[in-house]
Chains A and B, each alone.
Chain A
Amino acid sequence: MTALLEVANVSRSFGPMHALRDACLTVERNSITALIGPNGSGKTTMFNVITGYLRADSGHIRFDGHDVTAANPAILYRSGLSRTFQQARVFAQLTVAENLVVAGGFSWAQLFGRRVGRQDRKRAGELLDEFRMSHVADLYASELSYGQRKLLEFAAVLMSKPQLVMLDEPTAGVNPTIIETMERHIRQLHAAGITFLIVEHDMNFVMRLCDPVVVLDQGQEIFVGPPGAVQSNPAVLDAYLGA
């Protein structure tokens, strides 16, 4: 396997607090990598730095062979790196279908074209069918349940045909049915060649789905390995599982 994403010695501080300290992370192509760690260990900061929402104080990030340390989120998004947020961020005043269309991106020429054109409908419709959300396509996103919003956000990131999808706590606050649906889609998309990096607190979900598992503690990675080994690693147990 070759690395799709490489984070090398990245640091990021907020005032006196060091959220990331020379942190390293490698995501191999076509893997489902988990990023776990106790609260405040720097997982979400790592996500924000990788996706350009925060600038790293030092260190380097390479995505698909290119240095993207200073790239902005839009450039990364267009180059195939998509993410979801810990709290689902959907466009509440747009319909479900429009959320997908806007996430699909469009050129300058298309900017003055129809709000939802024929091609847009086709693409959005296919994805909504896959996610069994066609029946809510016409609803405003604000009318969806939280779990459905999470699912919509997940579906929306796929509109950009990403190489790497980063999911920030995809199962947080959603019911088992939707967790199952998420898991099924991740497996299907992984089989289709999409790479995943997942921040997650649900250990059962991580153990079932992810390999390798990267454990972050106090802004540094303390373990990288298969899910079986993480459960017996003393450093992890000490830092995260509290055994």
Chain B
Amino acid sequence: MRAPRGIGPARAAVFFGVLAVLPELDLAHWLLNMLVFTLMFAVMSSAWNLLGGFAGYPSLGHVAFFGIGAYAVVLWFQHHAIHNGYEPFLLLPLIGVGVAVVGLPVAAIAMRTRADVFAIVTITLLFVVQTLAFNLRGLTGGAQGASIAAAPFPSATYERPFYDVLLVLLAIAMGLTWAAMRSKVGLSLAAVRADEDKAAGIGVRVQAVKLLAFCVSVGLTAMVGAIWAYYQGFIYPQFAIDPLITVSIVLMTFLGGRATLWGPVIGAFILEMAQQYLAYSLGGSQFYLIGYALVFLVVMLLMPRGILPSIQEWLRRRRRRQVVDAPATPSGGLRTADTPLTPRRTAPHVKETRT
């Protein structure tokens, strides 16, 4: 569904404006920490959505690239001194592009498969990278982990730089998604998702858009991995390449709504904040996982297609009901111009994107 002209940018401005001023409200550290992790997952869900949502390729191995990004920043700064706290952030574009390039041959091979087979191939990738991280001890420290110098930010505002950088990264991820949706890249991806064989048959640049979606998606994910590693200061293979991270970003995207601009962000804000809040509330017990699962189950029961598509569908039906009853047409027949299904707009009637 397309928002009326001007609503989209206004919505984005309000969203990012509110998030930009939130840290000024003297929030508690635990709350800022929660927001940092929420933004991380929002970026990763948006990135995953480019591939799993728009292209219809459900990668379950994205965390492999998250881990590569994490190790990239740690390894770099094991050999280079950090002169000021922002230096690791300057490395992010390089990590993003580098991992996107590394992802290209991976995508070329993995994307010869589809759907469930693709998911299995990407899970394999995840475990290959995790095994490498455990066993390349000279490089990664293996199970002993690897560390990066602590970020030299004042403890009172320690989270703030990470928060700000993640906010910028979220804007970039959503900006890229928005640009894709409004371009023929998005149109091509939607055709691939709907019927790849037919899309290829009518000359859609299937391979190109698939590879593009994969590379941009893993590049963004790797950048989040790098920020996470710097934020944590010390990383272990089982946490840097944790299958649960992939599971979370997939769940968040499904919850909010696949192939939409805002769906993954909504999903990340609900699930990650719920998870973090429940974990804080219920302490070290694992009970928070039950609460976390309940949140997901309730939403999916009520809105099986995800929050945003369900709301859009509801609005669409509501709008249809408001249309003056049209004369009946023969069963299966072509409706005439006098019996529109939707309110008529000024010609040509071309819907451009879903938001």
* Given A111-B183, A113-B183: A122 and B348 interface contact (C-beta under 8 Å): yes
Q: Answer yes or no: A174 CB below 8 A from chain B CBs.
A: yes
Contacts of A116 in B (CB 8 A): 187, 350, 352
Cβ–Cβ < 8 Å partners of B199 in chain A = 91, 102
Identify the closest chain A residue to B204 (Cβ).
Answer: A102
Contact with A along B340-351 (1 / 0, CB 8 A): 111011011111
Residues on the A chain within 8 Å of B185, using CB: 111-112
Q: Is the CB of A138 within 8 A of B203?
A: no
- B184 on interface, CB distance cutoff 8 Å: yes
Chain B at the A interface: mostly helix, strand, loop or mixed?
A: loop
- In the complex, which of the residues A73, A91, A113, A124 contacts B201, with contact meaning CB atoms closer than 8 Å? A73
Given A93-B190, A102-B204, A175-B195 contact (CB < 8 Å):
no
Q: Is B327 an interface residue (CB 8 A)?
A: no
- Residues of B316-340 whose CB lies within 8 A of A: 330-337, 339-340
Which chain A residues lie closer than 8 Å to B330 at the CB level? 175, 177
How many A-B residue contacts, CB cutoff 8 Å?
149
A84 to B331, CA, bound (A): 23
> Is A97's beta carbon under 8 Å from chain B?
yes
How does the 8 Å CB contact mask read for B231-257 relative to A, with 1 for contact and 0 for none?
000000000000000000000000000
Count the B residues whose beta carbon is within 8 Å of the partner chain — how many? Answer: 46
Instruction: Give a binary string over B153-184; 1 marks a CB under 8 Å from any A CB, 0 the rest.
Output: 00000000000000000000000000001111
| CA of A156 to CA of B194, assembled, Å | 16
Interface bits A116-139 vs B (CB < 8 Å: 1, else 0): 100011101100100011111111
Residues A73-105 near B (CB distance < 8 A) = 73-74, 77-78, 85, 89, 91-95, 97-98, 101-103, 105
By the criterion CB–CB under 8 Å, are B203 and A92 in contact? no
Asked whether B353 is an interface residue with its Cβ less than 8 Å from the other chain, the reply is yes
Point out the residues of chain B lying under 8 angstroms from A110, CB to CB. 184
Task: Bin chain A's interface residue count.
Answer: 35 or more
Q: Are B200 and A74 in contact (CB under 8 A)?
A: yes
Contacts of A122 in B (CB 8 A): 348
State the A residues within 8 Å of B (CB): 51-53, 72-74, 77-78, 85, 89, 91-95, 97-98, 101-103, 105-106, 108, 110-116, 120-122, 124-125, 128, 132-139, 143, 145-148, 151, 156, 160, 174-175, 177-178, 181
The chain B residues found within 8 Å of chain A, CB to CB, are 181-188, 190-191, 193-195, 197-205, 208-209, 259, 330-337, 339-342, 344-345, 347-353
Q: Which 5 residue pairs of A and B lie closest in terms of their CB atoms, listed nearest first?
A: A73-B201, A125-B348, A137-B349, A91-B194, A138-B349
Interface CB pairs A-B, < 8 A, 29: A52-B201, A91-B190, A94-B194, A95-B350, A102-B187, A102-B199, A102-B204, A105-B202, A111-B185, A114-B182, A114-B184, A115-B353, A116-B187, A125-B347, A125-B350, A128-B348, A132-B334, A135-B341, A136-B335, A136-B340, A136-B341, A137-B349, A138-B342, A138-B349, A138-B351, A148-B332, A148-B334, A177-B334, A178-B332
